[in-house]
């Protein structure tokens, strides 16, 4: 049975209560709009993606959450370190060498179950209505215009909710992008990741304890090493599927254990402590939505674009797009105008950031590239690289790309992201 009542009419509907959904809902609720978040899971729920970068600071400040983060138990992160294939550590890239020590220069390693619950509760506290254990199954349309969603509760009951605008914040699964045929794979960034957790493994002393370490697997991929609170460690390996499953090895645990042997630093750090819980595997990395939305629909966070996580850009992009979408949708509600074209600036801004990060990711995966080679030739590139790695991605990096192109080719921007104009026959 389908239930619809006047109580099911909102100013905005948000699909998904992750960082993108919770942040856009918090902004909209703060403006006083009636916003509904529909989340499939019951929070706190597990999620990968645990390392923040400095420029998550601004959206977190906008959400009023910096004091909460400062008093939380999350491990403080001051730097990123790269480990060569032979196991040699680079100098840490300390953020405070470039940014204000009291704000942007210190970020956090989070446990997503706890962090995402903080974000979602923040949206609730600001007045958003949040329903958990309810799965959006379908967009409701009037002609081409999205006018709401049909969702199923855990009990099996089907419910319809209506609003002049729906924000798709469904994450990497990209609910509307998949259904509209808008999802494009990034041809080169097609990796898989295998990861698990350790308790009591080896840590660096002092302020280096919370560093994100990226350790190379020779010519193939990399490990992440992310220290968390309660002496836990998130550790995973990312590479081409063909490489990780060579000789017919398919079990995540076997893949992981074999790769530990490929980097002496990782092997040494995992030589003490206890592996905890399951091994995870994920494939189908990096995708882009052809459009940021259409009439009555806006895509936010991973649902808009998901980039290989080597530089931990996902949370920054999700929170930035969430807060920005909140502002843009607020204006649309105030002006009672939800024409897709009004989100063109949002799309341009977010795509520009994604494209800058994407160029650095492409360079990273080219065996001929090293940060050191570029910085040795062009010392001023160090600051530009730090800005991009820290998430200050909405600036003109043309001088940096020109320098890096002397070493490795970089991809052109993908011609995607602009809203689908009303009446466009591409809408399916």
Which residue in 170, 177, 356, 370 binds ligand FAD (CB under 6 A)?
170
Q: In the complex with ligand FAD, which residue's Cβ is closer, 308 or 384?
A: 308
Q: The tokens of 359 are what? A: 């160029």
Calpha distance 318→168 (Å, rounded) = 12
Does residue 171 touch ligand FAD according to CB under 6 A?
yes
Does residue 364 touch ligand FAD according to CB under 6 A?
no
Region binding ligand FAD by CB under 6 A among candidate stretches 58-66, 153-161, 168-176, 179-187: 168-176
What lies within 8 Å, CB to CB, of 38 at 6+ separation is 13, 14, 15, 16, 17, 131, 134, 135, 136, 149, 151, 161
Q: Are 55 and 392 in contact (CB under 8 A)?
A: yes
Does residue 164 touch ligand FAD according to CB under 6 A?
no
Calpha distance 290→345 (Å, rounded) = 15
Q: What is the DSSP letter of 219?
A: T
State the DSSP string of 291-339. Answer: BSEETTEEE-GGGTEE--GGG--HHHHHHHHHHHHHHHHHHHHHHT---
Which residue in 117, 133, 173, 204 binds ligand FAD (CB under 6 A)?
173
* Footprint on residues 181-210 left by ligand FAD (CB under 6 A): 193
Show the binding pattern over residues 119-158: x = contacts ligand FAD (CB under 6 A), - = does not. ----------------xx----------------------
Calpha distance 355→351 (Å, rounded) = 6
Q: The tokens of 309 are what? A: 């996580």
Does residue 92 touch ligand FAD according to CB under 6 A?
no
Q: Are 130 and 124 in contact (CB under 8 A)?
A: yes
Which residue in 14, 17, 31, 259 binds ligand FAD (CB under 6 A)?
17
Does residue 59 touch ligand FAD according to CB under 6 A?
no
Region binding ligand FAD by CB under 6 A among candidate stretches 16-24, 259-267, 348-356, 404-412: 16-24
Closest approach of Cβ 63 to ligand FAD, in Å?
Answer: 13
Q: In the complex with ligand FAD, which residue's Cβ is closer, 49 or 252?
A: 49
As to burial, measured by CB atoms within 10 angstroms (0-12 exposed, 13-18 middle, 19+ buried), residue 314 is buried
Query: What ranges make up the beta strands (E) of 181-306?
Result: 183-185, 192-199, 212-217, 221-227, 232-239, 274-282, 287-289, 293-294, 297-299, 305-306
Task: Give the SS3 label for residue 267.
Answer: helix
Closest approach of Cβ 305 to ligand FAD, in Å?
Answer: 9
Show the binding pattern over residues 306-345: x = contacts ligand FAD (CB under 6 A), - = does not. ---x--x-xx--x---------------------------
Closest approach of Cβ 226 to ligand FAD, in Å?
Answer: 6
Residues contacting ligand FAD: total by CB under 6 A = 34
Longest dimension (CA), the chain: 68
Calpha distance 343→347 (Å, rounded) = 6
Which residue in 282, 344, 352, 375 binds ligand FAD (CB under 6 A)?
282
Closest approach of Cβ 140 to ligand FAD, in Å?
Answer: 14
Q: What is the DSSP letter of 153?
A: E
Does residue 19 touch ligand FAD according to CB under 6 A?
yes
Calpha distance 246→378 (Å, rounded) = 39
Does residue 54 touch ligand FAD according to CB under 6 A?
no
Q: In the complex with ligand FAD, which residue's Cβ is closer, 198 or 403?
A: 198
Which residue in 4, 44, 47, 410 binds ligand FAD (CB under 6 A)?
47
Write out the residues near ligand FAD by the rule CB under 6 A. Answer: 15-21, 38-41, 47-51, 135-136, 169-173, 175, 193, 282, 301-303, 309, 312, 314-315, 318
């Amino acid at each position: 049975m389908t239930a619809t009542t006047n109580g099911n009419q909102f100013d905005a509907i948000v699909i998904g209560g992750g960082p993108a959904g919770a942040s856009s809902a918090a902004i909209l609720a703060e403006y006083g709009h009636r916003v509904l978040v529909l989340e499939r899971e019951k929070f706190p729920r597990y999620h990968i993606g645990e390392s923040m970068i400095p420029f998550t600071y601004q959206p977190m400040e906008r959400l009023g959450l910096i004091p909460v983060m400062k008093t939380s138990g999350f491990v403080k992160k001051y730097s990123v370190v790269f480990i060569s294939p032979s196991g040699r550590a680079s100098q840490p890239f300390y953020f405070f060498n470039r940014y204000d020590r009291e704000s942007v220069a210190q970020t956090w390693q989070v446990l997503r179950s706890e962090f995402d619950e903080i974000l979602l509760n923040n949206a609730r506290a600001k007045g958003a209505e949040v329903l958990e254990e309810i799965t959006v199954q379908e967009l409701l349309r009037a002609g081409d215009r999205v006018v709401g969603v049909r969702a199923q509760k855990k009990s099996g009951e089907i419910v319809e909710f209506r609003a002049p605008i729906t924000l798709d914040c469904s994450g990497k699964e990209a609910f509307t992008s998949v259904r509209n045929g808008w999802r494009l794979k990034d041809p080169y960034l097609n990796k898989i990741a295998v990861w698990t957790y350790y308790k009591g493994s080896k840590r660096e002393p002092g302020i280096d304890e919370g560093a994100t370490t990226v350790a190379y697997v020779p010519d193939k991929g990399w490990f992440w090493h992310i220290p968390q609170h309660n002496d836990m460690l998130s550790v995973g390996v990312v590479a081409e599927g063909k490489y990780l499953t060579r000789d017919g090895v398919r079990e995540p645990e076997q893949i992981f254990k074999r790769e530990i042997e490929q980097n002496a630093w990782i092997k040494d750090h995992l030589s003490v402590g206890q592996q905890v819980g399951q091994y995870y595997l994920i494939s189908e990395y990096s995708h882009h939505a052809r459009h940021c939305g259409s009439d009555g629909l806006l895509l936010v966070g991973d649902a808009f674009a998901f980039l290989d996580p080597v530089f931990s850009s996902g949370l920054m992009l999700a929170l930035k797009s969430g807060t920005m979408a909140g502002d843009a949708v607020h204006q649309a509600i105030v002006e009672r105008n939800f024409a897709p074209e009004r989100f063109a600036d949002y799309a341009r801004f977010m795509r520009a950031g994604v494209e800058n990060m994407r160029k650095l990711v492409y360079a990273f995966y080219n065996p001929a590239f090293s940060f050191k080679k570029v910085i040795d030739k062009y010392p001023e590139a160090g600051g530009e690289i730090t800005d991009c790695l820290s998430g200050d991605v909405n600036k003109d990096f043309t001088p940096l790309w020109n320098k890096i192109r002397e070493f490795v080719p970089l991809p052109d921007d993908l011609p995607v992201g602009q809203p689908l104009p009303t009446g466009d026959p591409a809408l399916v």
